[in-house]
Chain A
Amino acid sequence: MNYNWNWGIFFQPNPMGTGTYLDMLLSGLALTLKTAALAWVIALITGSIVGVMRTLPSKGANWFGFAYVEFFRNMPLLVQLFLWFFVLPELLPKAAGLWLKQLPNAPFWTAAIGVGLFMSARVAVQLQAGIGSLPRGQRMAATALGLTTVQGYRYVLLPMAFRIILPPLTSEFLNTIKNTAVAITIGLLELTGQARSMQEFSFQVFEAFTAATILYLLVNAVVVTAMRFLERWVAIPGYITGK
């Protein structure tokens, strides 16, 4: 393979004047984590609301939840980002559209909200499955004790459902981190984006992508380990999950 390896490239200054190439990648990593964190908060909150709606004894709520999930699940994430980024400002009243377009950090906000809503549909599906996997009698027992629907969800159904879906939620969180890379298409300089620009400036393709790959693997390992601890932390004595 006649390729000029140059692993020292990471310690050479980058052309942006922001330190070395390594600094460039690390700032990309920081942006990836920041975007993913905000997206995950959005996904968890809206996903939980929609997931609960899908399990309520109300036809209207069920239907809304169903439509919401189908809407966000049946379009490529990339297309959704384009809709938020390019199309939405044009469809709004002129002033609002202009304000949106001139928003500083527009790619960041678009990515966080876009990825967040995209992932919220998947969180909703997981939560619905989690609630659905609880014995029907649990809801009845809560009702029979006089708990209201809200109290039943708050104190009985959700604490168990979230424990049950913790492992799939871990993968969805990892997916959220990975999906922020799609925002490279709207100009977000997250980790993949920084690796790409390092490759364009330095022509050291494989060094740049190797570094990004290692960083993604590291993030994965950290998240997986942290979630293992969380799973053990919330485990219920004597209760075998996944039965």
Chain B
Amino acid sequence: MLGNFDFDVIRRALPYLFYEGMTFTLTLTALAALGGLVFGTALALMRLSGLKLLGRIAGLYVDFMRSLPLVLVIFWFYFLVPYIGQWLTGASRPISVGAFASSLITFIMFEAAYFSEIMRAGIQSISRGQPAAASALGLTYAQTMRYVVLPQAFRNMLPVLITQTIVLFQDTSLVYVLSITDFLGAASKVAQRDGRLVEMYLFAAIVYFTISCIASFGVRRLQSRIAIIR
């Protein structure tokens, strides 16, 4: 019961939780979002390129990734990456890449599928009349994209992209299955060591909740601002 709730356990664990755990979580989130954005843009462009084969490959990749549970994908890459590394470097045995690199690759590959769909939807949400009107005014294809389509599409997808990044931030907690010391992993380790599951998990929940709440509040602000501009 809450009667013997031990705040001191949390206080003593704070440096470990944040310097080790949260640093890992935030770094992983930021780098995975960045990498996912780059790879996701490439996938989206492939699908919108009009080149059948390229579009098919990208489509298959996206559908494939979106059909699998993230946990399974994490396991896949954890075991697969060393072999791919061996193949790439021509080493004689599977190379060990470390927990961080392995999870970073996982999340980039996984999130790219989701990011690319958001971008595709954003670009397709622009009504066909817009590029038509732009070319009627004499703008070239490149100018149409640059000045008419992309600015609108970007506005449509920015809030969704950030929301997806918040989901990514929460999803990074799943590296728990590889016993990695991310924020939740750190909390869990302290919880097990000190036998203080209630305190540590409640605290972890509150921290995740607060960060996600603030971020989604920001997204809503952004959305209403964009709505006014329109």
Query: A82: nearest residue on chain B (CB-CB)?
Result: B201
Chain A residue numbers with a CB within 8 Å of B212 are 73-75
Tell me if B201 and A83 are in contact (CB < 8 A): yes
Cα–Cα distance between A70 and B217 once the two chains are bound (Å) = 10
Tell me if B72 and A192 are in contact (CB < 8 A): yes
A5 at the interface (CB under 8 A from B): no
Which segment of A99-107, A159-167, A213-221, A232-240 sits at the interface? A213-221
Tell me if B69 and A192 are in contact (CB < 8 A): yes
Tell me if B173 and A79 are in contact (CB < 8 A): yes
Tell me if B202 and A213 are in contact (CB < 8 A): no
Which chain A residues in 179-200 approach chain B with CB under 8 Å? 179-182, 184-185, 192, 195-196, 199
A209 at the interface (CB under 8 A from B): yes
Using known A-B contacts A90-B1, A206-B79, determine if residue A192 contacts B204 with beta carbons closer than 8 Å.
no
Chain B interface size, under 10 / 10 to 19 / 20 to 34 / 35 or more? 35 or more
Cα–Cα distance between A10 and B163 once the two chains are bound (Å) = 41
Cα–Cα distance between A218 and B2 once the two chains are bound (Å) = 46
Q: What number of A-B contacts does a CB cutoff of 8 Å give?
A: 109
Chain A residue numbers with a CB within 8 Å of B160 are none
A137 at the interface (CB under 8 A from B): no
Distance in Å: Cβ of B186 to nearest Cβ of chain A: 13
Cα–Cα distance between A87 and B187 once the two chains are bound (Å) = 13
Tell me if A70 and B205 are in contact (CB < 8 A): no
Tell me if B71 and A79 are in contact (CB < 8 A): no
Which chain A residues in 76-96 approach chain B with CB under 8 Å? 76-80, 82-83, 86-87, 90-91, 93-94
A212 at the interface (CB under 8 A from B): yes
Tell me if B69 and A91 are in contact (CB < 8 A): no
Cα–Cα distance between A74 and B216 once the two chains are bound (Å) = 8
Using known A-B contacts A90-B197, A91-B1, determine if residue A209 contacts B174 with beta carbons closer than 8 Å.
no
B198 at the interface (CB under 8 A from A): yes
Chain B residue numbers with a CB within 8 Å of A77 are 170
B67, B72, B75, B213: which contacts A70 (Cβ < 8 A)?
Answer: B213
Tell me if A178 and B70 are in contact (CB < 8 A): yes
B68 at the interface (CB under 8 A from A): yes
Tell me if B68 and A79 are in contact (CB < 8 A): no
Cα–Cα distance between A161 and B171 once the two chains are bound (Å) = 30
Cα–Cα distance between A185 and B177 once the two chains are bound (Å) = 7
Tell me if A216 and B198 are in contact (CB < 8 A): no
A16 at the interface (CB under 8 A from B): no
Give 30 A-B contacts (CB < 8 Å), ordered by A residue. A1-B87, A2-B93, A74-B216, A75-B212, A76-B170, A77-B170, A78-B173, A79-B173, A83-B202, A86-B201, A87-B201, A87-B202, A90-B198, A94-B1, A179-B69, A181-B69, A181-B70, A181-B71, A181-B72, A182-B71, A192-B69, A192-B71, A192-B72, A196-B75, A206-B79, A216-B67, A216-B68, A216-B69, A217-B68, A220-B67
Beyond A75-B212, A178-B70, 19 extra complex contacts between A and B, CB < 8 Å: A3-B83, A73-B216, A74-B212, A74-B213, A75-B208, A76-B184, A82-B201, A83-B201, A83-B205, A94-B1, A181-B70, A185-B176, A195-B75, A209-B76, A209-B79, A216-B67, A216-B68, A217-B64, A217-B68
